[in-house]
Structure 1
C-alpha cells in the first residue's frame, strides 16, 4: 500500500515556511549568520529535524526557508528564536520584509515516493552550500563560487553512481536546454569558447583536486565529502526504486531538478546565466574526459 504523501502544510503544521526579503549580497549574510547557526542549535535540541532554502523572486528577491519541526507544538520556540535575529537585520535595513507562508510540495516534480528523500537531500545540500559561503569572500570567493558549482554537480552525480558517459549525456541535455533559453548565438558561443579556453586548466584542476594536490582547498573537500556521506543512503534508496521500476520519474529528470536546485542555492544573483555557464563548462570538461578515456 502506497504511503499517503501530504502536499500542503499551513502554519501550525510540521513545516514552517519563511520568506525573507533581502538584497542579493545580504542573502548570503542572512544564511551564514542567522539561518545556519540557529538551525544547528535547533537540530541539536531536537526541535527541528531538518531545513532547506531556495532563492526566489516574485519579482522581489528573497530566500525561502523551510523548517521541519519535530513537534508542531514547538513552533513558537522556532519563531521566537528567529524573531530576535531577523529583527536585528530589519532594524539595520538589511531585511525589508518577512512572511510566513503555506508550503506546497512539488509532488509532480519530485515524485510521491521520493518527495521526503528529496527534502532530506535539500537539507544536506543547503548545509554544504552555506558552509561553503561562510568560507569565501571578495573576488577570489566569487571565482571559487562557480568552480564549486562544477565540482558540486560532479560530486552529486558520482553519489548517484553516474558513469562519465551518463554524466556527459545529462550535461548535454542541460546545456542544450539552457542554450535555447538564452538563444545560443554565434557571439554567445564564441564568448563561452573563449572563456572556457582561458579557464580550462583551472576547471580541470578544481574538478579533480585532492587533499594532497591542493592542501589549501581541504575545507572545501571536507564540505563535499561530508555531504557525500550524508546523501549516499538517500541515493541508494532512489537508485533501488529506479532499478525496481518503481520510480515515478525518470532518474535523469530527477537529477536535473536536483542539479538545478543546487545551482539555485549557490548563486546569489544572475542564477540562470551562471547556471548556463556552469552546465556548458562541465559538459566540455566531460566531453574531454570521455574522449581521453577512449583514446
Structure 2
C-alpha cells in the first residue's frame, strides 16, 4: 500500500486537480477485513463526476496489468457517506478540508521517505506531526499536555502494556528525547517539517471556521476532542500498521515532552 501511495497515487491525483476535475480528496487506511485504501474524491461539479470515474478506471487498469510492479486486487466504487454524527453536520465541510490538507501533507512525506522499513523514523514524524497539527488547530500548550495525557491513558488501557513494555517505553523515550525536542521546537531541518508548515498554512481557514462554530455553540465536540480525532486520522494515514500501539507511543512521548516544556516555563517564572 505504501508503494502505491508513494509512487503512483500522488501523481495521478495531482493530474486530476490540474485538469480541474476535482477540488478536494483524502484517503484513509483500513485493515478490516484485509488491508485496503479508501480514497474519497470530490468532483468540481456533478457533470464532471463521470470523467473522474473514467480516469479512475483507467488508473486502476494500469495497476491490474500483470506487467505492473504495483498491483491491486480489487477496485470498488461506492458513495461517500459523511461521518456527520462524529464530526457534526456544520463542522463536516471544515473537517473534510482538514482531511484534504492532511492527506496532501502525508502523501508528500511518503513520497520523500526511503523505501526501507524505518518504523522509528515514522514515529518521530508522527510525534512532530501531531504536535504541529494541534498547534495549527489552536490548541494551547497546556491544552496539548492535557490532551496527550488523556490520550496516552486511553490507549494504555486499550493496549494494556506489561511492566517490561512500560519500561521499554521509558527507555525508548530517553533515547529519542534529544531529536524529538528539536522537532517540537522547530529547530530540526528535516524535510518533512516543510510539509507540516504547508499544512498549517492550509488549515488557517479551517481553524477560523471551527472557532466561529464553537462561539455559536454549533459543534458538539470541544476543540481538544476534535484535535484528538484529527490526530488519530493523521496517524492512520502516515503509519503502515499497528496504529493503536503506535498511538500509545506517540502520546506517551508527547506527554513527556510537554511536561518537560511546562517545567521549564515554571522554572523561568521563578528566576
Note whether the superposition's TM-score is higher than 0.5: yes
Query: Offset at 1:240?
Result: 2.1
Q: Which of 75, 94, 100 is the matching residue for 1:98?
A: 75
Q: Which of 13, 31, 43 is the matching residue for 1:39?
A: 13
1:137-196, CA deviations, whole angstroms, 9 ceiling, x for partnerless residues? 144854332111111111111112222110000111110000000114322211101111
Is the Cα contact below 8 Å between 2:139 and 2:224 reproduced in 1?
no
1:262-282, CA deviations, whole angstroms, 9 ceiling, x for partnerless residues? 111010111221122111111
Q: Does 1:220 align with 2:197?
A: no
Task: For 1:31 and 1:77, locate their aligned partners in 2 and report how far apart those are by CA, in whole Å.
Answer: 22
Query: Offset at 1:207?
Result: 2.1
Using the TM superposition, name which of 104-113 and 241-250 deviates more. Answer: 241-250
Corresponding residue of 2:22: 48
Corresponding residue of 1:287: 259
Q: Does 1:77 align with 2:54?
A: no
Task: For 2:260 and 2:22, locate their aligned partners in 1 and report how far apart those are by CA, in whole Å.
Answer: 44
TM-score of the superposed pair, with normalisation by structure 2: 0.91
Q: Does 1:245 align with 2:254?
A: no
Task: For 1:108 and 1:270, locate their aligned partners in 2 and report how far apart those are by CA, in whole Å.
Answer: 26
Query: Offset at 1:118?
Result: 0.3
> Counterpart of 1:128 in 2: which secondary structure?
helix
TM-score of the superposed pair, with normalisation by structure 1: 0.84
**5+ long unaligned stretches in structure 1:** 1-26
Number of aligned positions between the proteins? 264
**5+ long unaligned stretches in structure 2:** none
Task: For 2:13 and 2:63, locate their aligned partners in 1 and report how far apart those are by CA, in whole Å.
Answer: 17
Task: For 2:215 and 2:263, locate their aligned partners in 1 and report how far apart those are by CA, in whole Å.
Answer: 28
Q: Which of 256, 259, 270 is the matching residue for 2:228?
A: 256
Q: Which of 186, 203, 210 is the matching residue for 2:180?
A: 203
Correspondences of 1:1-295 after superposition (within 5 Å): 27-91=1-65, 92=68, 94-139=71-116, 142-210=119-187, 214=189, 217=190, 219-295=191-267
Bigger strand fraction? 1
